[in-house]
């Protein structure tokens, strides 16, 4: 027995040794302020540090220059431990996979048709100014042949631009122009994680070319020439006139078939900052993590310092509570809402019941003859979801299939039904999506219905011995009420990383827009989420109108002018359950394109104030330095409470205290000699006092402070629930509104 044991051990030892020494990608955070003077560059130092522990010349994947102090390398466990023991290393972290925030919903910002003059900025002036605004999109790449990147009548590229278009196996630099001015790809992290296998896959191009569709949607709608002109002001309305933002686009491909790797994202952010972008857009993210471990937050801090506006999607993990990503206060965190248009479709069942849903199907239809209706007839337990390979062609051929929403993409479900011989689909919501309806351009006749209708249809199929259905389609309906509504998939607060910072910041259009997109990337392209689009446009517009504004001033303008009532004058509702939404769902509200250009007052935040905020989180000096990237940080100035940051919204966490007091500073960006009065509202168990109650600004650019005190009544903590309120500074021209969230326990 003992002999056999040693024999087996002898066989296993080489395998165990190989497994122990297997290399993975790690991001190494360096203390750049201790770099020896003998090294001319950070790259030289990083290379030397790596060569001291590794003979492999290919170990170094990326040397980061701006977004991060450190490098990415392929390391074995022994090398990782060696680096962690080094006095010049802050930390060594295994590469993280981030996911695209793919809610499978095409979207675009529907701006008002009657712009006219925007408080001293006419559309021609803004168009001219926006020529100089460069939007960097970190995503799945770009399809440069799209008409969206037509550079007709575009002036020469700004001389400050330092980017380029890289060549690849299927991408020529000549495809770029004066509209699409940059295209790069970053795949070393992905390559290491997949062992190079992606090189054998035809669909995965090691180039800036987009094989997914997500990146092209995001980039083209950000500042697309043709798309903006055709549909900026609303699908099917025929009044595509007025604003046509002429900003430039630079695409950075950081996402691949298996996800977006932190090492590649950092490399993309690093390069975009050096290239000279003005706006940085990321529709991707992971879960919540401390800021010093959040790759995107660290890169975004450098971008913010350099005047770059960074907007990120809040995530698509709603309606679950505390499901947000990208919550750093120097990032604009954007949730999703619906628009005031709909695309009705109908399911007529054999029992004569007719249900209304939505669809963007544009084919010939299925006629008016009822056909068989099936649901969950498979034996493998996944056919109700219509996952690939789950449907039995013998069961579904020639029939309409009911598919539950969830797990895989909605459009993919239709493709699965189509491939199995089905001729139609009813996509039925479950409790997770509630009554939210998302229209898609399916490959076959398909209708999406809410949970209540879905339950009725499922019950009918189960109870009727011969269930049938016929599907029909109703075109476009405008002025749908109520709208907007907070999308069920949009991630929700509270903010788990810093409960004293209210997130998300705002919501924007995120559901049911633009069948015309199918011309660019095919019918199934409409599944792709472009949730960041409207903020690229709005931030580019604000950059053009106010080139001297900081990223925090632009964010403040978008937040304090957002609206919180729908087109029926009712408070915003939540699609997940139909009840009123809260700031944990909609943040400051839904963006208002017109008002954001002239907010009256802004809450500005300097880098030093962000530093005081970070120091208030009780991070070690090394961890603060990891984010701020400055030597000699002492944290001599720090807030007593992270909520003291000059943020445009409030999140009050009483905890063991009954009194919370914050001071805010407002900067006048409106007219000279402006006077504002305050109005505060909140729950009955909280007293709110604002001093002073009146702010008198003598000149433009003047800064004035106010202090707000929140007092919780005795016993309120026992209720252990959340409440909400607001503070509004207003005059005849402006309303500067800040939402307030109250909590009595640490979240």
Comparing CA positions, the residue from 130, 336, 117 lying closest to residue 224 is: 130
Q: What is the separation, in whole angstroms, between the first and last Cα of the chain?
A: 56
In the structure, what pLDDT confidence band is assigned to residue 105 with cuts at 50, 70 and 90?
very low
pLDDT tens digit sequence for 563-619: 999 888 999 998 887 889 999 999 999 988 778 989 999 999 999 999 999 999 989
Q: Which residues contact 416 (CB under 8 A, 6 or more apart)?
A: 386, 387, 388, 389, 390, 391, 403
- On the question of pLDDT at 489 being above 60, the answer is yes
Residue 711: exposure state from Cβ atoms within 10 A (0-12, 13-18, ≥19):
middle
Q: What is the pLDDT of residue 197?
A: 39
Kindly write down the DSSP assignment for every residue of 25-61, as one continuous string: EEEEEE-GGG--TT-SSHHHHHHHHHHTT---TT-EE
What's the rounded mean pLDDT across residues 719-747?
91
Three-class SS string for 260-309? EEHHHHHHHHHHHHHHCCCEEEECEECCCCCHHHCHHHHHHHHHHHCCCE
In the structure, what pLDDT confidence band is assigned to residue 245 with cuts at 50, 70 and 90?
low
- On the question of pLDDT at 379 being above 60, the answer is no
What's the rounded mean pLDDT across residues 690-701?
98
- On the question of pLDDT at 465 being above 50, the answer is yes
Q: Which residues contact 125 (CB under 8 A, 6 or more apart)?
A: none
- On the question of pLDDT at 43 being above 70, the answer is yes
List the structure tokens of 573: 């509702």
List the structure tokens of 299: 């890169």
What's the rounded mean pLDDT across residues 297-323?
91
Residues 198 and 157: their CA atoms lie apart, in Å, by 34
In the structure, what pLDDT confidence band is assigned to residue 209 with cuts at 50, 70 and 90?
confident
3-state DSSP: the chain helix, strand, coil percent, rounded to 5? 30, 25, 45
What phi and psi, each to the nearest 5 degrees, are found at residue 378? -75, 170
CB atoms within 10 A of CB 309: 32
- On the question of pLDDT at 553 being above 70, the answer is yes
Q: What is the pLDDT of residue 110?
A: 32
Q: Is 613:624 a contact under the CB 8 Å cutoff?
A: no
What's the rounded mean pLDDT across residues 298-323?
91
Better-scored residue on pLDDT, 361 or 166: 166
In angstroms, how far apart are the furthest CA atoms of the chain? Answer: 94
- On the question of pLDDT at 525 being above 80, the answer is no
- On the question of pLDDT at 426 being above 80, the answer is yes
* Helix axes of 295-305 and 607-615: crossing angle, nearest 10 degrees: 150
Q: Helices in 98-244 by DSSP H: which ranges? A: 123-130, 188-194, 214-223, 225-231
- On the question of pLDDT at 95 being above 80, the answer is yes
List the structure tokens of 436: 């939210």
Q: What is the pLDDT of residue 656?
A: 86
Q: What is the pLDDT of residue 214?
A: 61
Q: Is 264:186 a contact under the CB 8 Å cutoff?
A: yes
In the structure, what pLDDT confidence band is assigned to residue 113 with cuts at 50, 70 and 90?
very low
Angle at 232 between CA 227 and CA 236, to 5 degrees: 90
Highest mean pLDDT among 156-165, 214-223, 276-285, 585-594 belongs to 156-165
Distance, C-alpha 556 to centroid of its chain: 18
Residues 157-161: contacts with CB under 8 Å, at least 24 apart: 157/181, 157/248, 158/131, 158/132, 158/134, 158/248, 158/276, 160/276, 161/134, 161/248, 161/275, 161/276
List the structure tokens of 43: 């790259």
Q: Which residues contact 549 (CB under 8 A, 6 or more apart)?
A: 542, 543, 557, 602, 669
* Helix axes of 607-615 and 621-628: crossing angle, nearest 10 degrees: 150
- On the question of pLDDT at 415 being above 70, the answer is yes
Cα–Cα distance list, 139 to 162, 465, 688 (Å) = 20, 49, 44
Residues 165 and 162: their CA atoms lie apart, in Å, by 11
Residue count (the chain)? 747
- On the question of pLDDT at 121 being above 70, the answer is no
Radius of gyration for the alpha carbons in the chain, expressed in angstroms and rounded: 27
What's the rounded mean pLDDT across residues 178-186?
94
Q: Is 403:426 a contact under the CB 8 Å cutoff?
A: yes
Better-scored residue on pLDDT, 277 or 519: 277
Q: What is the pLDDT of residue 234?
A: 29
Distance, C-alpha 673 to centroid of its chain: 39
Q: What is the pLDDT of residue 380?
A: 57
What's the rounded mean pLDDT across residues 371-386?
79
Q: Is 600:695 a contact under the CB 8 Å cutoff?
A: no
pTM to 2 decimals? 0.84
Three-class SS string for 183-197? EEECCHHHHHHHCCH
In the structure, what pLDDT confidence band is assigned to residue 376 with cuts at 50, 70 and 90?
confident
- What average pLDDT is seen over the chain? 82
Highest mean pLDDT among 101-105, 480-484, 549-553, 655-659 belongs to 549-553
Highest mean pLDDT among 37-41, 227-231, 366-370, 412-416 belongs to 37-41
pLDDT tens digit sequence for 124-174: 555 666 678 898 999 888 888 877 788 888 889 999 999 999 998 889 999
| Coil, helix or strand at residue 476 | coil
- On the question of pLDDT at 83 being above 50, the answer is yes
Q: What is the pLDDT of residue 211?
A: 72
Residues 745 and 740: their CA atoms lie apart, in Å, by 16
Q: Which residues contact 339 (CB under 8 A, 6 or more apart)?
A: 107, 110, 480, 483, 484, 509, 511, 512, 513
In the structure, what pLDDT confidence band is assigned to residue 15 with cuts at 50, 70 and 90?
very low
- On the question of pLDDT at 4 being above 80, the answer is no
Residues 691 and 697: their CA atoms lie apart, in Å, by 15
């Amino acid at each position: 027995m003992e002999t056999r044991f040693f024999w087996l051990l002898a066989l296993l030892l080489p395998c165990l040794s190989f497994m122990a020494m297997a290399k993975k990608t790690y991001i190494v955070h360096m203390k750049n302020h201790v770099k020896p003077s003998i090294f001319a560059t950070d790259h030289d130092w990083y290379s030397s540090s790596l060569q001291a522990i590794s003979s492999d010349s290919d170990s170094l994947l990326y040397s980061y220059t701006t977004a991060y102090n450190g490098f990415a390398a392929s390391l074995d466990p022994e090398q990782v431990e060696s680096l962690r023991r080094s006095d010049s290393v802050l930390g060594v972290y295994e590469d993280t996979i981030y996911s695209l925030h793919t809610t499978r919903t095409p979207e675009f910002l529907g701006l008002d048709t009657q712009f006219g003059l925007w408080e001293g900025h006419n559309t021609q002036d803004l168009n001219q100014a926006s020529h100089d605004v460069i939007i960097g999109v970190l995503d799945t790449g770009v399809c440069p042949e799209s008409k969206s990147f037509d550079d007709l009548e575009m002036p020469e590229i700004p001389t400050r631009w330092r980017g380029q278009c890289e060549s690849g196996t299927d991408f020529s630099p000549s495809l770029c122009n004066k509209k699409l001015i940059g295209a790069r790809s970053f795949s070393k992290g992905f390559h290491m994680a997949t062992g190079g296998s992606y090189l054998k896959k035809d669909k995965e191009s090691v180039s800036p070319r987009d094989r997914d569709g997500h990146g092209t949607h995001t980039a083209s709608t950000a500042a697309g020439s043709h798309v903006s002109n055709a549909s900026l002001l609303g699908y099917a309305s025929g009044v595509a006139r007025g604003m046509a933002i002429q900003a430039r686009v630079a695409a950075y491909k950081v996402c691949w078939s298996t996800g977006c790797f932190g090492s590649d994202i950092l490399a993309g952010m690093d390069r975009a900052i050096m290239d000279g972008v003005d706006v940085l857009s990321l529709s991707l993210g992971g879960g919540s993590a401390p800021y010093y471990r959040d790759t995107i937050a660290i890169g975004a801090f450098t971008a913010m310092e350099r005047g770059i506006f960074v907007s990120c999607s809040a995530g698509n993990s709603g309606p679950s509570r505390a499901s947000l990503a990208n919550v750093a206060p120097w990032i604009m965190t954007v949730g999703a809402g619906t628009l005031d248009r709909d695309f009705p479709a109908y399911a007529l069942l054999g029992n004569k019941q007719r249900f209304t849903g939505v669809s963007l199907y544009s084919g010939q239809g299925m006629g008016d003859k009822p056909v068989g209706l099936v649901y969950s007839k498979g034996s493998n337990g996944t056919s109700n979801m219509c996952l690939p390979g789950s449907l039995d062609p013998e069961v579904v051929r020639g029939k309409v299939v009911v598919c539950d929403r969830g797990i895989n993409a909605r459009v993919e479900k239709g493709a699965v039904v189509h491939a199995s011989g089905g001729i139609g689909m009813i996509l039925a919501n479950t409790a997770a999506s509630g009554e939210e309806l998302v229209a898609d351009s399916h490959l076959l006749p398909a209708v999406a219905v809410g949970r209540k209708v879905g339950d009725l249809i499922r019950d009918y199929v189960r109870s009727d011995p011969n269930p049938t259905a016929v599907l029909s389609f109703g075109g476009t309906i405008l002025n749908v009420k109520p709208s907007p509504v907070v999308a069920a998939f949009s991630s929700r607060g509270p903010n788990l990383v810093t409960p004293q910072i209210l997130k998300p910041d705002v919501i924007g259009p995120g559901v049911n827009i633009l069948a015309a997109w199918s011309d660019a990337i095919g019918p199934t392209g409409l599944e792709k989420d472009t949730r960041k689009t409207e903020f690229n446009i709005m931030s580019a517009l604000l950059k053009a109108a106010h080139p001297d504004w900081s990223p925090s001033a632009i964010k403040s303008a978008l937040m304090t002018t957002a609206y919180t009532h729908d087109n029926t004058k009712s408070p915003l509702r939540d699609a997940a359950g139909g009840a009123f939404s809260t700031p944990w769902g909609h943040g400051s509200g839904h963006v208002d394109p017109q008002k954001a250009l002239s907010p009256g007052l802004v809450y500005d935040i300097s880098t030093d104030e962000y530093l005081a905020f970070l120091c208030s989180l009780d991070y070690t000096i090394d961890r603060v330095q990891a984010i701020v990237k400055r030597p000699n940080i002492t944290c001599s100035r720090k807030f007593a409470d992270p909520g003291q940051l000059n943020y445009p919204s409030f999140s009050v966490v009483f905890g063991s205290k009954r009194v919370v007091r914050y001071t805010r500073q407002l900067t006048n960006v409106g007219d000279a000699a402006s006077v504002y009065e305050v109005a505060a509202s909140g729950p009955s168990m909280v007293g709110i006092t604002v001093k002073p109650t009146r702010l008198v600004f003598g000149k433009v650019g003047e800064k004035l402070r106010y202090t707000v005190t929140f007092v919780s009544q005795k016993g309120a903590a026992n209720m252990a629930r959340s409440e909400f309120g607001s503070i509004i500074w207003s005059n005849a021209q402006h309303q500067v509104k800040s939402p307030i969230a109250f909590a009595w326990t640490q979240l």
